[in-house]
Structure 1
Amino acid sequence: MRVHKNLIGIALATTAMSLSLAGGAFANDDLQGLISDSKNWAIPTGDYANTRYSKLKQITKDNVKKLQVAWTFSTGVLRGHEGGPLVIGDVMYVHAPYPNTVYALDLNNDGKILWKYEPRQDPNVIPIMCCDTVNRGVAYGDGKIFLYQADTTLVALDAKTGKVEWSVKNGEAQDGSKGESGTSAPMVVKDKVIVGISGAEFGVRGFLTAYNIKDGKQVWRAWSTGSDKDTLIDPEKTTELGKPVGPDSGTNTWEGEQWKIGGGTTWGWYSYDPKLNLIYYGTGNPSTWNPNQRPGDNKWSMAIMARDADTGMAKWLYQMTPHDEWDYDGVNEMILADGIKIDGKDRDVLVHFDRNGFAYTMDRATGELLVAKKYDPAVNWATEVDMDKS
Structure 2
Amino acid sequence: MRIFSSLVSLSLCLVPTASAFAADTLQTLMDDDRQWASPRKDYYNQGYSRLGQINRHNVSRLKLAWSFSTGVQRGHEGAPLVVGNVMYVHTAFPNNVYALDLDHDRKILWAYFPKQSSDIEAILCCDNVSRGLAYGDGKILLQQNDGLLLALDSRDGHKVWEAQVNDPRIGATNTNAPYVFRDKVLTGCSGGEFGVRCFLAAYALQDGQLQWKAYSTGPDSDVLIGPGFNADNPHYNALSAYEDVAGGNREGGSFRALPREKLKFPETELGVKTWLKPQAAANGWQHGGGPVWGWFSYDPKLNLVYYGTGNPSVWNPDIRPGDNKWAMTLFARDLDTGMARWGYQLTPHDEWDYDSVNELILWDRGGQKLATHFDRNGFAYTLDRRSGKLLSAEKMHPFVNWATGIDLQTGIPLKDGRYSTHEDQETAAICPSAIGVKNIQPAAYSPKNGWFYVPMNHLCMTYEAVEAKYVAGQPWAGASLTMQPGPDGDMGAFMAWDALKAKPAWYNREKFAVWSGALATAGQLVFYGTLDRWFKALDARNGKELWRFQVGSGIVGNPMTYQHRGRQYVAVFSGIGGWAGVALNQGLSGDSDGAGTAGVFRELGRYNAAPGSGALNVFAL
1:313 aligns with 2:339: yes
Which residue of the partner structure matches residue 174 of structure 2?
182
Does the CA contact (< 8 Å) of 1:240 and 1:367 recur in 2?
A: no
In the aligned structure 1, how far is the partner of 2:321 from the partner of 2:234? Answer: 24
Q: Of 227, 238, 250, which residue of structure 1 is paired with 2:229?
A: 238
Which residue of the partner structure matches residue 385 of structure 2?
364
Cα offset for 1:388?
2.3
In the aligned structure 1, how far is the partner of 2:149 from the partner of 2:214? Answer: 17
Does the CA contact (< 8 Å) of 1:240 and 1:317 recur in 2?
A: no
In the aligned structure 2, how far is the partner of 1:328 from the partner of 1:228? Answer: 24
The one-character-per-residue Cα deviations of 1:325-364 (angstroms, maximum 9, x if unpaired) are 1111101110001015xxxxx4111100101001111100
Does the CA contact (< 8 Å) of 1:241 and 1:318 recur in 2?
A: no
In the aligned structure 2, how far is the partner of 1:242 from the partner of 1:177? Answer: 39
The one-character-per-residue Cα deviations of 1:275-333 (angstroms, maximum 9, x if unpaired) are 10000000001101111111110000001000000000000000000111111110111
In the aligned structure 2, how far is the partner of 1:376 from the partner of 1:355? Answer: 12
Q: Of 210, 225, 232, which residue of structure 1 is paired with 2:217?
A: 225
TM alignment of 1:126-141, pairs within 5 A: 126-141=121-136
Which residue of the partner structure matches residue 7 of structure 1?
none
Q: Where is the strand percentage greater, Structure 1 or Structure 2?
A: 2
Cα offset for 1:386?
1.1
Q: Of 302, 308, 319, which residue of structure 2 is paired with 1:276?
A: 302
Q: Of 61, 65, 69, which residue of structure 2 is paired with 1:66?
A: 61
Q: Of 90, 93, 97, which residue of structure 1 is paired with 2:92?
A: 97
TM alignment of 1:94-133, pairs within 5 A: 94-133=89-128
Cα offset for 1:240?
7.1
Which residue of the partner structure matches residue 298 of structure 1?
324
How well do the aligned residues superpose, as a CA RMSD in angstroms? Answer: 1.3
In the aligned structure 2, how far is the partner of 1:381 from the partner of 1:276? Answer: 35
Letter matched to residue 337 of structure 1: W
SS in 2 for 1:30: helix
TM alignment of 1:142-181, pairs within 5 A: 142-171=137-166, 173=167, 176-181=168-173
Which residue of the partner structure matches residue 385 of structure 1?
406
Q: Provide structure 2 residue ranges, at least 5 long, that are not aligned to the other structure.
A: 1-12, 14-18, 238-266, 278-282, 412-621
In the aligned structure 2, how far is the partner of 1:113 from the partner of 1:389? Answer: 54
Which residue of the partner structure matches residue 355 of structure 2?
329
TM alignment of 1:37-48, pairs within 5 A: 37-48=32-43
Cα offset for 1:196?
0.4
SS in 1 for 2:60: helix
In the aligned structure 1, how far is the partner of 2:232 from the partner of 2:130? Answer: 34
Most deviating of 155-164 and 107-116: 107-116
Letter matched to residue 323 of structure 1: H
Q: Of 71, 78, 82, which residue of structure 1 is paired with 2:77?
A: 82
- Structure 2 length as normaliser, TM-score? 0.57
Cα offset for 1:241?
5.9
Which residue of the partner structure matches residue 273 of structure 2?
252
Does the CA contact (< 8 Å) of 1:200 and 1:265 recur in 2?
A: yes
In the aligned structure 1, how far is the partner of 2:316 from the partner of 2:120? Answer: 24
Which residue of the partner structure matches residue 19 of structure 1?
none
SS in 2 for 1:349: strand
1:198 aligns with 2:190: yes
Letter matched to residue 210 of structure 2: Q
In the aligned structure 1, how far is the partner of 2:123 from the partner of 2:232? Answer: 36
1:352 aligns with 2:373: yes
In the aligned structure 2, how far is the partner of 1:204 from the partner of 1:276? Answer: 31
Which residue of the partner structure matches residue 10 of structure 1?
none
Q: Which stretches of structure 1, 4 residues or longer, exceed 3 Å deviation after superposition?
A: none
Does the CA contact (< 8 Å) of 1:71 and 1:110 recur in 2?
A: no
- Structure 1 length as normaliser, TM-score? 0.89
Letter matched to residue 298 of structure 2: Y
In the aligned structure 1, how far is the partner of 2:292 from the partner of 2:209? Answer: 20
SS in 1 for 2:48: coil
Cα offset for 1:67?
2.3
In the aligned structure 2, how far is the partner of 1:216 from the partner of 1:83? Answer: 23
The one-character-per-residue Cα deviations of 1:176-201 (angstroms, maximum 9, x if unpaired) are 32111110000101110000000101
Which residue of the partner structure matches residue 6 of structure 1?
none
The one-character-per-residue Cα deviations of 1:50-72 (angstroms, maximum 9, x if unpaired) are 11011111111221222222221
Q: Of 314, 317, 332, which residue of structure 2 is paired with 1:288?
A: 314
SS in 2 for 1:250: helix
Q: Provide structure 1 residue ranges, at least 5 long, that are not aligned to the other structure.
A: 1-24, 341-345
Overall identity of the aligned pairs, in %: 55
Which residue of the partner structure matches residue 523 of structure 2?
none
Q: How many residues align?
A: 357
